[in-house]
A and B are shown apart, each in its own frame.
Chain A
Amino acid sequence: MAKYIVRRIVLSILTFFCITIIVFFISYLAPGSSLDYILANSNMSPEEIELRASQLGLNQPVYKQYLTWLKEFFKGNLGISLREYRSVTEMIGERFGNTLLLTFSSLLIAYFIAIPIGIHSSRKPYSIGDFFSATAALVSMALPGFFIGMFMIWIFSAKLGWLPMGGMYSSSAEHSIIDLLKHMAMPVTCLALQQLGNVMRQMRSSMLEVLSEDYVRTARATGLSEIKTVYIHALRNAMGTIVTLFGTSLPFLVGGAVVTEQVFSWPGIGSLMVTSITTRDYPVIIGITVVVATTVLLGNLLVDITYGILDPKVKYD
């Protein structure tokens, strides 16, 4: 096990370097530099811009820029935003919590609702309940997030006036939990709805397979109640799918829901990404991409270790 983990970590580090190189060079190759943007949008003279560029090291060869960036990265410094002239680390840091709050609670809600429904449909396949859950899942998977979001804003904010349209706190009131929850309600529901369907269907198919296994029959034959058979003996074996699914939703967890954050003007990583792309703020784009990639690498490592706990047959070497 230890040997396997070490090998995985070494591989992850290699992958990390590959990612940084690719991200860095792609943004270098992208047409239109951030300097053009500044030039078009401000009244700075070309000389001033030249000065700024040399201050930021933008006129150095790209590999040197990369090495400088890498050196700074290990000091925890992701560079300076070209738009705000602030540390990228700081900018990501202050939005990281907001995004995690939003995405994590929506994931939690989605799994909490979808897993029992998926299990229920698998226990009575092709029943009316299964039919309804399949339809609901289809709707959930087919509707785009921005549509659900705007529809909800239209109903709950514009028509009924129950919930605030966007943001994280009301500007007038003091920052309270109640206020935060009110602001979270719609974006979280919107995100949860988008994921429900997939989790539900995956759970159903995985459980359906497990329920026809011989050992489930054995569990029933020992006199175990149906609930215990399903939720202890079968679920443990069906959990692998859910762990995989959770692993694949990690980038979302950290990278934020770009569209949904934008719709609800949630001050998270996703909306920062969108603003940075439109303003060609490359250091921020690179910073976010690298942070997300690193978390995904860590997440996959965790998922692989969890497999080993769930399925004793997984061998680590």
Chain B
Amino acid sequence: MSKLLEVKNLQTCFYSKDKRIVSAINDVNFSIKKGETLGIVGESGCGKSVTALSILQLIQPHSGMITQGEILLNGQDLLKLNEKKMQQIRGNQISMIFQEPMTSLNPSFTIGYQLISPIRLHRRCSRKDAYDYAVSMLHMVGIASPEQRMKEYPHQLSGGMRQRVMIAMALSCEPELLIADEPTTALDVTIQAQILELMKQLQRKLQMSIILITHDMGVVMGMCDNIAIMYAGNVIEFADKYQIFNYPKHPYTKGLLSSIPSLDRDVDVLNTIPGIVPSISNMPSGCKFGPRCQHTLPICKQLQPKSIQVGNDHSVSCWLYEQEGGES
């Protein structure tokens, strides 16, 4: 299978309050194939959402910008496109659903208006056809009495329903890639499962790829093919999910996995990774995980590790594997 999207050396910077430029993500690399699901996992503030917004170039020019890298969609570099071309890609080839279904729909417009508008934007069709199509989309995402819902405003719908509407909106132009930024974080557990199941179903139906951003390891296990672990603006480990779960390499990944509580073992204190994520304006030198790592080598404090291959499609950025990587 060919690569649908490839992100190379992506760096996005923001302007801080004192007019300094700080990078939120640095040298981010990953790729996703057609029909595949990639999970991007990491703690809050590690740059997951910034990565997603960078792909769609939704970083507001007055707050920050993409300073380096390439984002290749079917081999075409999105960063070289002008705004008008980019608008044709947004919502059409690449769609996005957001974390907050409660606030992601415009409170002043009906569901119908918000569904029909992107359809009419990207597909040349009559108002009537767009309406019928929107109704069928609502039906597809499992909303009962869609005609009625079309006339309603977002505040008349529950959180789960709104997220379904968001999904219907995002999928209405049959995108090749869906970016889901913590789509279920704000929903309760039963609705979470329903929404994820729905996404999986629709993925099979529409043959699309999904980038699933989450910090929920359980969700990742159920949904994803490949996983990118992010820490402080870097992808520190990238592999398929079996590799990640069975043979994690990076000390941070190991820490993450060991902090998943288990049902079989009875423990008093849950496992955690000591320390906190460094803020983007105050990054440690060398490996950014260094201060929290239990296996630090002298070099960790001086140089940031490069990404190295440690197996078939398994890459990790850690000095501990520099030797092995050289061999394989």
Contact = CB atoms under 8 A, between A and B. Distances in A.
Interface of A: 124-127, 213-215, 217-226, 233, 236-237, 310-313
B153 A224 contact: no
A312 B83 contact: no
A222 B56 CA distance: 10
10 contacts: A124-B62, A127-B62, A220-B90, A221-B56, A221-B95, A222-B91, A222-B118, A223-B118, A224-B87, A311-B108
Contacts of A237: 106-108
A226 B82 CA distance: 13
Given A221-B95, A236-B109, A215 B104 contact: yes
A312 B108 CA distance: 6
A221 B108 contact: no
Contacts of A225: 84, 87
Residue of A124, A215, A219, A222 with most partner-chain B CB within 10 A: A222
Contacts of B107: 215, 237, 311-313
B83 to A, nearest CB: 7
Contact of A312 (B58, B98, B104, B153): B153
Contacts of A126: 62
A217 B121 contact: no
B92 A215 contact: no
A125 B15 CA distance: 13
Contacts of B84: 225
Contacts of A125: 62
Contacts of A214: 98, 100, 103-104
Given A215-B105, A222-B169, 13 more contacts: A126-B62, A215-B103, A215-B104, A217-B58, A218-B106, A219-B106, A220-B58, A221-B170, A222-B91, A236-B106, A310-B108, A311-B107, A313-B153
A105 to B, nearest CB: 29
Given A223-B92, A224-B117, A224-B118, A213 B103 contact: yes
A236 B107 CA distance: 10
Interface of B: 56, 58, 62, 83-84, 87-92, 95-96, 98, 100, 103-109, 117-118, 121-122, 153, 155, 166, 169-170
B234 to A, nearest CB: 25
B106 A223 contact: no
Contacts, number: 76
B123 to A, nearest CB: 11
Contacts of B89: 223
Contact of A217 (B98, B108, B155): B98
A221 B92 contact: no
A223 B104 contact: no
Nearest to B105: A215
Contacts of A310: 108
Contacts of A127: 62
B58 to A, nearest CB: 6
Contacts of B108: 236-237, 310-312
A125 B17 CA distance: 13
A118 to B, nearest CB: 16
B155 A313 contact: yes
Contacts of A312: 107-108, 153, 155
B91 A221 contact: yes
Nearest to B61: A124
A222 B90 contact: yes
Nearest to A125: B62
B162 to A, nearest CB: 11
A219 B108 CA distance: 13
Given A125-B62, A224-B118, A313-B107, A218 B90 contact: no
Contacts of A311: 107-108
B190 to A, nearest CB: 24
A81 to B, nearest CB: 49
B259 to A, nearest CB: 29
Which 4 residue pairs across A and B have the least CB separation, nearest first?
A223-B91, A222-B91, A223-B90, A222-B118
A125 B62 CA distance: 8
A218 to B, nearest CB: 5
Contact of B87 (A215, A223, A236): A223
Nearest to B101: A214
Contacts of A219: 106
A312 B118 CA distance: 22
Contact of A223 (B62, B98, B109, B121): B121
Nearest to A235: B108
A90 to B, nearest CB: 45
Contact of B121 (A215, A224, A226): A224
Contacts of B56: 221
A218 B98 contact: yes
Contacts of B100: 214
Nearest to A312: B153
A124 B62 CA distance: 7
Contacts of B106: 215, 218-219, 233, 236-237
Given A214-B103, A313-B153, A223 B58 contact: no
Residue of A218, A236, A311 with most partner-chain B CB within 10 A: A218
Contacts of A213: 103
Contacts of B109: 233, 236
B265 to A, nearest CB: 39
A313 B88 CA distance: 33
A313 B104 CA distance: 16
Contact of A222 (B83, B103, B121): B121
A13 to B, nearest CB: 32
Given A223-B122, A311-B107, A218 B166 contact: yes
B150 to A, nearest CB: 14
